[in-house]
């Protein structure tokens, strides 16, 4: 019945900062950008080359996301990368704090985490 994830929706606190992060830093392509006056909200549809999408929403004064301790719900976003070392080096040139690279105990693959402007954990997982 289900064939793949179509998109992940993210609510941000600073639209311009998050747009820059996902488009300019992570390389998502803008598919469509709409301002919804009745909600005082932007909806930005973003995509990776393989078709994976993120909907980025802005709303006035959204509540803060619970990060620590972890709460029930979406834990993090994870993206495949070809080289974890090159990806980490790139993020560091953009002044992004990245956790130390670890090895998945079950797959022996390299991975690491960093956060988006609102503290949403993002994982990079080497393919």
Instruction: Sketch the domain layout of the chain as residue ranges.
Output: 1-61, 75-127
* CATH of 75-127 among 3.40.50.300, 3.90.1640.30, 2.70.70.10, 3.10.180.10: 3.10.180.10
Secondary element (H or E) of residue 113 = strand 110-115
pLDDT at 68: 73
Q: Write the Ramachandran bin of 95: left for phi over 0, alpha for psi from -120 to 50, otherwise beta.
A: left
Rounded to an integer, the average pLDDT of 47-66 is: 91
Please state the CATH superfamily assignment of the domain spanning residues 1-61 in this structure.
Answer: 2,3-Dihydroxybiphenyl 1,2-Dioxygenase, domain 1 (3.10.180.10)
For residue range 7-49, what is the model confidence (pLDDT) as tens digits?
A: 999 999 999 999 999 999 999 999 999 999 999 999 999 999 9
In tens, the pLDDT along 67-111 reads: 777 778 778 999 999 999 999 999 999 999 999 999 999 999 999
- The model carries a pTM of 0.90
């Amino acid at each position: 019945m289900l064939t793949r994830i179509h998109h992940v929706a993210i609510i941000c606190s600073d639209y311009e900062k998050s747009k820059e992060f996902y488009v300019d830093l992570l390389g998502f392509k803008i598919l469509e950008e709409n301002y919804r006056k009745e909600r005082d909200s932007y909806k930005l549809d973003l995509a990776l080359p393989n078709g994976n999408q993120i909907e980025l929403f802005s709303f006035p004064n959204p509540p803060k996301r619970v990060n620590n301790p972890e709460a029930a719900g979406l834990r993090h976003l994870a993206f495949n990368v070809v080289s974890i070392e090159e990806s980490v080096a790139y993020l560091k040139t953009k002044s992004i704090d990245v956790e130390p690279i670890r090895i998945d105990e079950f797959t022996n693959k390299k991975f690491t985490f960093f956060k988006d402007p609102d503290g949403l954990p993002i994982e990079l997982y080497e393919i």
